[in-house]
């Protein structure tokens, strides 16, 4: 079983992005099944989205539009989805580096 975690860094202000709603889903046939939902903590982290994820295709969705609105900013991204494969008994940490008009993600440790 695998562990799935994430964190969000607002690269415009150089600080963690607290209060972003995050949803974790697993693909089942042609549909997506909800696994967990959380909100990033004051350090921008969701540390316990899945502690025992089975192999498969997963999607993390971040409600970035609400975050930007709360901070008086606009963005072309109302939400950001990261789809990834979980294939082994490992830790999948998927950070999101966020700005108003761009984002980057990678597999962290």
Annotated binding site for substrate: 7, 45, 106
Q: What is the helix, strand, coil percentage profile of the chain, to 5?
A: 5, 60, 35
Instruction: Provide φ and ψ at 43, rounded to 5°.
Output: -95, 10
Closest-CA residue to 67 (of 35, 104, 39, 34) = 39
Cα(38)–Cα(62) distance, integer angstroms: 10
Q: CA–CA separation, 74 vs 64, rounded Å? A: 10
Annotated binding site: 7, 45, 106
The CA distance from 24 to 109, in Å, is 18
């Amino acid at each position: 079983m695998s562990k799935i975690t994430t964190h969000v860094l607002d690269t415009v202000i150089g600080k963690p992005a607290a209060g972003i709603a995050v949803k974790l889903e697993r693909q089942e046939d042609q549909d997506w099944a909800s696994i967990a939902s959380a909100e990033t903590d004051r350090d921008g982290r969701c540390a316990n989205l899945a502690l025992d994820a089975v192999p498969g295709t997963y999607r993390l969705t971040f409600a970035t539009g609400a975050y930007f609105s709360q901070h008086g900013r606009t963005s072309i991204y109302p939400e950001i989805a990261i789809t990834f494969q979980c294939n082994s008994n490992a830790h999948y940490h998927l950070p999101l580096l966020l700005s108003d008009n761009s984002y980057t993600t990678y597999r962290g440790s």
